[in-house]
Amino acid sequence: MAGINEFHTQVQSEVCSVHPLDPLSVAEMREAVALLRTAQNLSAKVRFMSATLREPTKHEVLAYEAGTPQVREAHFILLDNTDGQTYEAIVSLSNKCVVSWKHIPGVQPPIHIDEFIECENAVKASPEWRAALSKRGITDFDSAIVDPWSAGNYGDHTYSGQRLARGYTWMRTSNDDVGYGRPVEGVVAIVDLNNMKVLAVEDNGVVPLPPPSGNYTATSVGPLRTDLKPLDIVQLDGPSFRVDGYSVSWQKWKFRIGFTPREGLVLYRISYDDAAQERSILYRASLSEMVVPYGDPGPNHNKKNAFDVGEYGIGRLVNSLELGCDCLGTIKYFDAVMTDSKGGVTVIPKAVCMHEEDAGTQWKHTDWRTNHTEVRRARRLVVSFIATVGNYDYGFFWYFYQTGDIQLEIKLTGCLSVGALPPDVQPKYGSMVAPQLYAPIHQHFFNFRLHFMVDGDKNSVYEVDTIAEPAGPDNPLGNGCYPMATLLDKESVAQRIINPLAARYWKIVNPAKRNKVNQPVGYKLMHGENVLPFAKPEASVMQRAGFMRNHVWVTAYDPTELYASGDYINQHSGGDGLPAYVAQDRPLENSDVVLWYTCGHNHIPRPEDWPVMPVATMGFMLRPVGFFNANPAMDVPPPELRASCEV
Ligand code: CO
């Protein structure tokens, strides 16, 4: 094990020089909070809803790398609970001052995890909520849990201007159950999060509590199987990657790690070394938004549309990962630094996991005449984080392959959001998962913002369909088909959906750089599982999550356009984000472009999804298409193994 220990020492002792894209350190975050508090004389009623690096623009970063000095700045979103107003501030760490302080009228920042806890306490203390539970024969209030769901926007002005959450209640049998197995159906507490007051308790009718069914801990699920032998990943010589601060190099890949409380993991400056030349592929890649529209029109579930990025901040909800469980092998972890809502600086250790995995066969050929075989195994580098948003758990895994492929895989797991039904009632808009327990049908939509930089700043995006040649003199046997590429030359036409029967994909090329067969170098986006929303166009969620309408959007780069549903989606009526960005109809050909990919997963729950769902996976692949002159993994050596054996 000496090799592994040496590796850890080496990583810790490496000098970490600060790069403009490095997340704020604990010291920087503390200093920025202190500078802001003093300069603005902030009261104790002002919450720190978000604190991050004020990310420099692409042009500033490229200028820095050319040798100019950098300016470190922090960006804050603050909420004044006394009047419910939102402010944004930029603090310069380089100049020790507040650079800007701006009132943002009419918006609601994402719900902070601190508000989750305070909201639960407020609901559980409320006489109206206690009365609603008592009406159902429930008096053990201590065993109740209450999750604040984002309120959305349904044109109801009753609580106009107030910061709202909808509190749903479940009864726990013990800490061994998942917590969500016994919904108190029909009871919804409307809470003002500025003063933590219950404004009203909706009661949509009494449904009996389902019997307990949700145990999930190792000690509570019954006997565990006993015939599983250990399977470990052994890297006696340490890993093949190198880490310098937030900069990673592995095989021929290079990139930088970032992390924000809103998006979670952010990857920057992704490049591949090709014949000793560092060739850029992506400038920045991140999860920009996600939303889960539920398909049950009944009053208990028809306002469930969680935007887990823009309404909760999926990065803030990141798990601290566990060696051997979440991550197997020789692991490099990255911590995440953020603030609590009072401005205290917190570190979430092991928020991002990085390790290598065997990925099966890389390539193989057997010469059947000589019986000579060449085979290589594929290795991939995995960079991932997992976040828990109430009942659901989401993993986001970026894979880098030796072939130049980049894959994004989402892992959906955790616990369903369920409802209770009286005995012997079957739901139309969902599925039974346990006795008297049903899970509404729903979709999970994710949007990824992919700021491409294929061999330079100026890229064009094409949609490629495979077309069947009409019968005729050019196609006498009727077998002809060919790929047809259509330039997406402006934002109004760069709004596309998948077409699997045309084998559709999109390619991002650099028209000025040619490969050895005189094609522009490029990468293609290959979609995986996908779907369109089933909600009607006039539904609130369709306005608020307009990004769901298309699978691919392309926009001209603007550093202020980062989120598919806009900066402030919480309680927003809709129309912001991608639909607003593309209304500018900017030209896209041979320019600095951002591709936004939306993927949807239709979830018709199964009994096997209870009490904890087996992981469902979805995602997409970015694959070189004429970026290289040949298979870039031909130089991968045959494997040297010391532990594999025959039995
Ligand atoms: Co689901």
User: Is the per-residue pLDDT at 190 higher than 50?
Assistant: yes
Burial of residue 216 (CB within 10 Å: 0-12, 13-18, 19+) is middle
Q: In this structure, how many other beta carbons lie within 10 angstroms of the beta carbon of residue 615?
A: 13
Domain spanning 242-456+487-603+615-624, CATH architecture: Distorted Sandwich (2.70)
User: Is the per-residue pLDDT at 622 higher than 90?
Assistant: yes
Q: What is the CATH number of domain 113-203?
A: 3.10.450.40
- Token digits for 177? 């159950």
Residue 394's pLDDT is: 98
User: Is the per-residue pLDDT at 8 higher than 60?
Assistant: no
Give how far Cα 408 sits from Cα of 21, 88, 279, 379, 551, Å. 21, 32, 20, 16, 15
Residue 642's pLDDT is: 83
CA dist 111 and 84 (Å) reads 13
- The rounded percent of the chain whose pLDDT value lies above 90 is 93
Mean pLDDT of the chain: 95
User: Is the per-residue pLDDT at 355 higher than 50?
Assistant: yes
User: Is the per-residue pLDDT at 640 higher than 90?
Assistant: no
- Distance in Å, CA 394 to ligand 1 centroid: 10
The mean pLDDT of 346-369, rounded to a whole number, is: 97
Residue 353's pLDDT is: 97
CA dist 486 and 70 (Å) reads 41
Q: How much is the CA Rg of the chain, to the nearest whole Å?
A: 26
- Distance in Å, CA 514 to ligand 1 centroid: 43
Please say whether the dihedral angle defined by the alpha carbons of residues 539, 544, 546 and 547, taken in this order, is positive or negative: negative
Residue 324's pLDDT is: 83
CA dist 274 and 525 (Å) reads 21
Interval 62-81: pLDDT, tens? 999 888 888 899 999 999 99
- Distance in Å, CA 629 to ligand 1 centroid: 42
Q: Give me the phi and psi of 34, to 5 degrees please.
A: -65, -45
Residue 68's pLDDT is: 82
- Distance in Å, CA 606 to ligand 1 centroid: 10
- Distance in Å, CA 326 to ligand 1 centroid: 20
- Distance in Å, CA 146 to ligand 1 centroid: 20
Residue 504's pLDDT is: 98
Residue 605 Cα to chain centre, angstroms: 22
The mean pLDDT of 75-88, rounded to a whole number, is: 98
Amino acid at 388: T
pLDDT class of 206 with cuts at 50, 70, 90: very high
Catalytic entry in 168, 272, 312, 392: 392
Secondary structure letter of residue 582 according to DSSP: H
User: Is the per-residue pLDDT at 50 higher than 60?
Assistant: yes
- Picking from 3-7, 164-168, 221-225, 550-554, which range would have the lowest pLDDT averaged per residue? 3-7
| Beta strands, E only, 437-572 | 437-440, 442-452, 460-468, 481-487, 495-496, 505-514, 520-527, 552-556
CA dist 619 and 450 (Å) reads 13
Q: Give me the phi and psi of 352, to 5 degrees please.
A: -120, 135
- Distance in Å, CA 83 to ligand 1 centroid: 37
- Token digits for 168? 């749903």
pLDDT class of 7 with cuts at 50, 70, 90: very low
CB of 596 closer than 8 Å to CB of 552: yes
The mean pLDDT of 416-430, rounded to a whole number, is: 96
CA dist 228 and 417 (Å) reads 32
Residue 3's pLDDT is: 39
The mean pLDDT of 603-617, rounded to a whole number, is: 98
Q: Give me the phi and psi of 290, to 5 degrees please.
A: -155, 155
Distance from the first to the final alpha carbon of the chain: 25
Same-fold call for 2-104 versus 242-456+487-603+615-624: no
Amino acid at 50: S
Q: For the stretch 432-471, what's the b/e string if a residue is b when 16 or more beta carbons lie within 10 angstroms of its beta carbon?
A: bbbebbbbbbbbbbbbbbbbbbbbebbbbbbbbeeeeeee
Catalytic entry in 22, 308, 393, 457: 308
User: Is the per-residue pLDDT at 4 higher than 80?
Assistant: no
User: Is the per-residue pLDDT at 111 higher than 80?
Assistant: yes
Nearest to 398 by CA among 258, 265, 504: 265
Across-strand partners of 325? none
Interval 468-505: pLDDT, tens? 999 999 999 999 999 999 999 999 999 999 999 999 99
Q: Which CATH class is domain 2-104?
A: alpha beta
Cβ neighbors of 645 (< 8 A, separation 6 or more) are none
Residue 2's pLDDT is: 36
Cβ neighbors of 607 (< 8 A, separation 6 or more) are 431, 432, 433, 434
For 293, half-sphere exposure in the C-beta direction (CA atoms, 13 angstrom radius) is 23
The mean pLDDT of 35-42, rounded to a whole number, is: 97
User: Is the per-residue pLDDT at 5 higher than 50?
Assistant: no
Domain ranges of the chain: 2-104, 113-203, 242-456+487-603+615-624
3-state secondary structure of 2: helix
- The rounded percent of the chain whose pLDDT value lies above 70 is 98
Interval 367-382: pLDDT, tens? 999 999 999 999 999 9
The mean pLDDT of 436-440, rounded to a whole number, is: 97
User: At CB < 8 A and 24+ separation, what contacts does 13-20 make?
Assistant: 14/243, 14/244, 14/245, 15/244, 16/244, 16/245, 16/246, 17/245, 18/70, 18/72, 18/245, 19/64, 19/245, 19/246, 19/247, 19/256, 20/56, 20/60, 20/61, 20/64, 20/70, 20/72
Torsion of CA 130, 132, 136, 139, to 10 degrees: 0
pLDDT class of 1 with cuts at 50, 70, 90: very low
Nearest to 410 by CA among 426, 393, 424, 427: 393
Residue 70's pLDDT is: 86
- Distance in Å, CA 604 to ligand 1 centroid: 8
The mean pLDDT of 516-531, rounded to a whole number, is: 98
Nearest to 150 by CA among 100, 87, 121, 108: 108
Cβ neighbors of 378 (< 8 A, separation 6 or more) are 358, 359, 360, 361, 362, 401, 402, 403, 633
- Distance in Å, CA 303 to ligand 1 centroid: 16
CA dist 127 and 200 (Å) reads 11
- Distance in Å, CA 416 to ligand 1 centroid: 7
CB of 548 closer than 8 Å to CB of 83: no
563 tagged catalytic: no
| Beta strands, E only, 6-135 | 46-53, 73-80, 85-92, 97-104
- Distance in Å, CA 444 to ligand 1 centroid: 6
- Distance in Å, CA 419 to ligand 1 centroid: 14
Residue 67's pLDDT is: 82
392 tagged catalytic: yes
Residue 643's pLDDT is: 84
The mean pLDDT of 576-584, rounded to a whole number, is: 98
CA dist 530 and 494 (Å) reads 18
